[in-house]
A and B are shown apart, each in its own frame.
Chain A
Amino acid sequence: MAKNNQKNMTIAARSSASIDSQTPISFTFDGRKYQGCKGDTLASALLANNVHLTGRSFKYHRPRGIMGAGAEEPNALVGVGTDGRIEPNLKATQVELYDGLVAISQNRFPSLKLDVGEINSVLSRFFPAGFYYKTFMWPASFWMMYEHIIRHAAGLGKAGDDHKDPDRYEKRHAHFDIVIIGGGLSGLMAGLQAAKSGQRVLIAEDQPQWGGWLRACEDIIIDGMSGQAWAEQAVSRLQEMENVTLLSRTTCFGYGDHNFLTLAERVSDHLAEKPAHLPRQRLWKVRARQVILATGAIERPLVFAGNDLPGVMLASAAQTYLCQYGVLVGTRGILMTNNDAAWHNAFALHRAGCRIKVIVDTRQNPSPALIKQATDLGILTRIGSGIIAAHGRLHVARVEIAPLSEAGDALTGEPEHFDCDLVMMSGGMNPVVHLHSQARGKLKWDERSHCFRPSTTHEAEQSVGSCNGSFDAAIGAKEAIAAARKAIKANSGEAAEITLPEITATKIKWTPMPIWQIPTGQPAGQGGKAFVDFQNDVTANDIQLAVREGYHSVEHVKRYTTTGMATDQGKTSNINALAILARERASDIPSVGTTTFRMPYTPTSIGMIAGRDIGGLFDPVRTTPMDKWHRAAGAKFEHVGQWMRAWYYPKDGENIQEAVIREVEAARQYAGLLDASTLGKIDIRGRDAAEFLNRIYTNSWLKLGVSKCRYGLMCKEDGMVMDDGVTTRLAEDHFHMTTTTGGAAGVLDWLEEWLQTEWPDLQVYLTSVTEQWAVATLSGPAAREILKAAGTDIDLGDDNFSFMSMREGHISGLPARIYRISFTGELSYEINVPARYGMALWTSLMRAGKNFGITPYGTEAMHVLRAEKGFIIVGQETDGTVTPYDLGMGWIVYDKKPDFIGKRALARQSMGLGDRKQLVGLRTKDPKQIIPEGAHAVLDPNQPPPVDMLGHVTSSYFSPNLGHSIAMALLRGGHARKGETVYFPMLDGKPPIEATITDTNFYDPKGERLNGQH
C-alpha cells in the first residue's frame, strides 16, 4: 500500500463497532481540514488521515507522535477549541471528535514540521538532567530574569482568554454504598454483583463506551458473545436498575480521606452543538462506603534510542486503533517485545494488512508456538534481540536490530537494518495503581509480572482485575465478584447469587523479561536518546547522570530529572525510571521504592473546580432590609465581610472626598442617618447572663441597671482585643449584645464555646438575632427633633431617656427599641425595628428629617466621624496584638473582678513594658496633608538604613469639622511620646510627612455634644 494512498484507503476500509463510518465529520488540526468518523478520538482520526506528527517535545522540541490510545498518552498533547473555549494540554487520545472541532499542536514555533526549538536537541549535551537547577542558580538576584525565561520555555499549551470561558460547570455531591471505578470486564462484573444485591452503586468509566479492553480484544468470548457484546448487555441490564448510577466519560481523578472520591464527568465536551442548559463538565464529589478499583493496566514502553519517533507506538495501542477504530497505523511494521501478549497484537495487525516484517523478542526462549505462528504468517523473528536504534526525521523509517546477551545488557552481534513505518513496542504491563496509591494503599513488587501491584489498603478499598496485576480475564472476573461480595458484607448487606460467566480467550503466559533499557553498544550519552519519560523529555542518560551526581532517593531523582511529573504522573515512565535508577544504584526495584502518585490522575479543568462559585455567586452577598433604598439613592457600596454596606452617597457628580465631607459635616451640623443593620446582635438569656458577661468583657456588668447600655471590650485569653460593642440589659436575666459587623459570627461562636466547654454550669442561652432587627442610627444635633417629627410615644427628654439607655415604644407607628448610644459623639439614637419594617423606618425618618437637613451617610463618613472622636474600630486599630492598655483604654479593664477572659494574660510582665506599641493621635504639620494608612513612623527621616521604625498609621482622614487631617497610629511607647515629632517617609520619593503625636480624642473632648446642647 503506497503511503500517499493510505488516507483514502483507510477511511474507506474503516469498520468497527465503536465508530460509525457512515457519519463522516470534519475537523481541523493546525488549520488543515480533515475528515473523521463519529466515534473517533482526535488521535484515531488523525491516524486515519495518516497524521502521526502531533507535537513537539517539552525540552528538546523533538517531533513526537501518538504513542498510546488512552489516558497514558504522553506525547500527543493538543489545544482544543477557539477563543474563550481553548483548553490546552488535552491528550488527543481522549478528545472525542465532533463536527467542527478545532485542534492545534503545542510547543512548536513556527510550525510543527519546522521548529526552531529543535536546536535544543542538537545542544542537548548542554541540556542535561537538573539543567534548570544548575544554570539558574546563581546569582540569586538574577532569579527574576531566569523565571521569565523559564516560564516562557516551560508550559506546553496556552489557555484561552482570561475570564472569557463561556461554559457552565456543575458540581454534585453523591453518596453510594459501593463505587466502582472502571467499566471493563472486572468493573462490570463487580457492578452486576453489587447491583443485584440491592446496594447503591456507582460505576464510572473513563471512556465514552463501556467494556475497556474488551472492545479492543478480538478473541475473547464471554457466555458465547464477543467481549464487546457482553459488555453492552451487562450495561443495559445495569441501566434498568434504580439503585445503579452509570457514568461514562467520567474520570475518577482523586481519592481522598475516608473514601471521598472526586470524579470529572465530561458532559458536553464531545458535542458539536453544546446545549446552553448543559454544563460542559460536572465534578462529582462522592462519599463511598466501599470502593472497588477496576482501573486496568497501561502498557510499558521500551527504552531504546529513538523510541520517541512518530510511528513508534505501544503494541496494545496499535491493536486498539485497529479493532476499536478501524485504523491501521502503519504498512510495514516491526514489533519489539519482552512478553508473549504483544505477539498477538502483531498478528492482528499483520492479518489486517499491515505487513509485520520482524518480531523482535528480547527473551532467549519465547513460546515455540508463537514463533511457529509467526513463521506461518511469513513474519521474520529475531529472538534474544532488540532494536538498538530507530531512525527517521519526522517519522520512523528504519531500525537497527542486534542480538543481545541473555541478561539483555550487552550486544552480542552486528546490527541488521530494516525499513519500516511502524514500530510496536511492549515492555510489559503497569497496573493502574494511582487511585489505590492516592488512597495511601501500599504497593508490592511482583517478581513474576515485573510490576507494582496493590498490597495493603488504607481505606475501605479493593483492587480487581488488571489493576491488581490479574491480567487473565477469567481470574479478573472472579476477583471482581469476590471483592463485590466482600464489600456488600462490610456494608451489612446480603450478596445475591450470581453466576460467573464462561470466558474463553487465548491463554497468554504472563512472563515478561525484566529489561529496562536496550543497550546501544556505545558509551553512555552516545548512541541516540532513549526516552524514559516522553512528556518531560527525560532520557535514560538523565537518570544515570542524576545518580552519578549523588541523587539516590527516588523522590530526589524525580524532582531533579522531572521524570513522572506533571500530567503524566508516571503513567508510562514510572517503572522504567525506577528500574534504571535501581540498576545504577546496584539495587533492586522494591528497595528503590516508588514515588507518590498524586491527584489528579488526569488533568482537570479549573472551571470545573470553580463550578458556580464565580461572578455574582463567587461568595454570598448579604444585604440589609434597606438595601434597595441605598441602591436607588445611587450609593456606592463596600464589602464588609460578606455584607454589602452603603459606602457613600455621591450627589451631582461628587467624588468620594466631596461626598464624605458633605456627609460628615451634615451629621455634626444637622443630622445623619446610617444603616447599621449589619451589626451583630445576640440575645442573651438566663439566670447567669450577667455573670457570663462579667467574665466575657473586661469591665464590670453585674450592677448594670435594667434598660441601661454599656460599652464593652472582649479580649481573647491572651489579653488581646477581639471585639467590642454595646450591650443592654433588657431584664434582670436578659441582655441584648451588639458586636462588630465582621465579628458577629465569630463572637457568637466564641461565647458558645465558653458556655459549652468551660462554664457548662452557667445557665445562659444565646440566640443570634442579627437579621431579626433592622437598625437605623440617627445622629446629630437635630436627632431628637426628627424623632419627634416622625412621631413617637417615647418621652425623649434627658430625664426619661438619658445617654446609654434604651426605651421601647413606637416610631411612626412601628414597634421599636431605641438605644441612645453614640459612635459619632453627637446626640444619637440607634433605632431597632423588626427587619420587615426596616425600609418603612428608614423612609419615614428621611421624610421626617427633610426639613432638618437629614443626610444619609455611609461607612466612610462613619469612619471619619468616629475617628474625630478617637473611637477605635476593632480590626483597624487592632490586629490581634493590641491590648486595652495599648489602646489607652485601661479605664475599661476592671481587674478587681475575680476573673475575666484575658485577665491573667494582661498581668504578664511583658504586658507592662513601656515599649509596647500604643495608640496615639497624629496631627500633621501641614493640616491639609493626609498620611497614608499603613505608613511607618520614624524619629529621624535622615537615618541611614536599617531605619528604626516606631509603628504605623491605623486610620487617617481629613476632618472637615476640624479643618485639618487627623490620624491614629500604633507607636512604640507612644503614650509617653505625646508632643514629640515623628516623620512618615513616603514611597513615591516625596519628602517625609511631619506630624506631632497627640491624644486621640480630636473633637469635642469634653463630650458636650452628646446631649445635643451646644
Chain B
Amino acid sequence: MLEIKCPYCGPRDEEEFSCGGEAHIARPLSENSLSDKEFADYLFYRDNPRGVFLERWRHAAGCRRWFNVARDTLTHHILEIYPMGAKPVSKAGRAAYNANWRRDSQAEIAAQPASQKTNKTSSAKR
C-alpha cells in the first residue's frame, strides 16, 4: 500500500485516496473546430507509461483536495507532489510532461485561450 503525502494532511495510507488518472489533460474550449478524432484524444486516450507518470490524486477520506503526483509506475516511487494547476518541477517530472504526446495534440491546442495559442498545426504525435 502506497504512502501518499497529501499536500495538506501529510503522509497517509493509499486507501484514503482515490486516483484520478492522467494529469494535465486540458479541456478543449467549447468553441473549437476539433474533428471527432481530435476530440477523442481529449476524451478517451490516456497514457500508460512504464516509468514516470503524472497523475491526479484526491485525498478522498481526508481534506477532499485534488493534487498532482509524479509517480514511477515501475518502482512506485513518488518523485513529486504538486498542486492542481501547476506543472512538475522535478527534472524527471518535467521530462515526463514534455515527452507526453498530448502536448502537440489539437485537443490541447484547442484548450488554450486564443491569446496563448501556438502556431503548431502538426497533427498529434504518437
Contacts and interface: CB of A to CB of B under 8 A. Distances in A.
Q: Do A and B come from one complex?
A: yes
Interface string A747-782: 001001100111010000000000000000000000
Contacts of A908: 36, 39
B97 interface: no
- Chain B: interface size category: 20 to 34
Interface stretch (B46-54, B56-64, B87-95, B114-122): B56-64
A260 interface: yes
Contacts, number: 51
B75 A756 contact: no
A260 B64 contact: no
B121 to A, nearest CB: 21
B43 interface: yes
B30 A903 contact: yes
Given A904-B39, A908-B36, A756 B65 contact: yes
A864 B47 CA distance: 45
Given A717-B43, A756-B84, A910 B36 contact: yes
> What is the interface of chain B mostly: helix, strand, loop, or mixed?
loop
B66 A757 contact: yes
A662 interface: no
A753 B20 contact: yes
B41 to A, nearest CB: 12
B56 A899 contact: no
Interface string A463-477: 000000000000000
A944 interface: no
Nearest to A758: B27
B39 A256 contact: no
Nearest to A258: B3
B100 to A, nearest CB: 17
A458 interface: yes
A131 B28 CA distance: 58
A718 interface: yes
- Chain A: interface size category: 20 to 34
Interface string B16-31: 0010100000011011
A284 to B, nearest CB: 13
> What is the interface of chain A mostly: helix, strand, loop, or mixed?
helix
Nearest to A900: B30
A109 B39 CA distance: 66
B1 interface: yes
A760 B84 CA distance: 10
A753 B3 contact: no
B113 interface: no
A458 B76 CA distance: 10
A258 B2 contact: yes
Contact of B76 (A257, A756, A757, A910): A257
B1 A256 contact: yes
B85 interface: yes
A287 interface: yes
Contacts of A260: 1, 3, 13
Nearest to B11: A287
A371 interface: no
A458 B75 contact: yes
B3 A287 contact: yes
Contact of A757 (B28, B44, B56, B64): B56
Interface of B: 1-3, 13, 18, 20, 27-28, 30-31, 34, 36, 39, 43-44, 56, 58, 60, 64-66, 75-76, 84-85
13 contacts: A256-B1, A258-B3, A258-B76, A287-B13, A749-B64, A753-B58, A753-B66, A758-B27, A898-B30, A898-B31, A903-B30, A908-B39, A909-B36
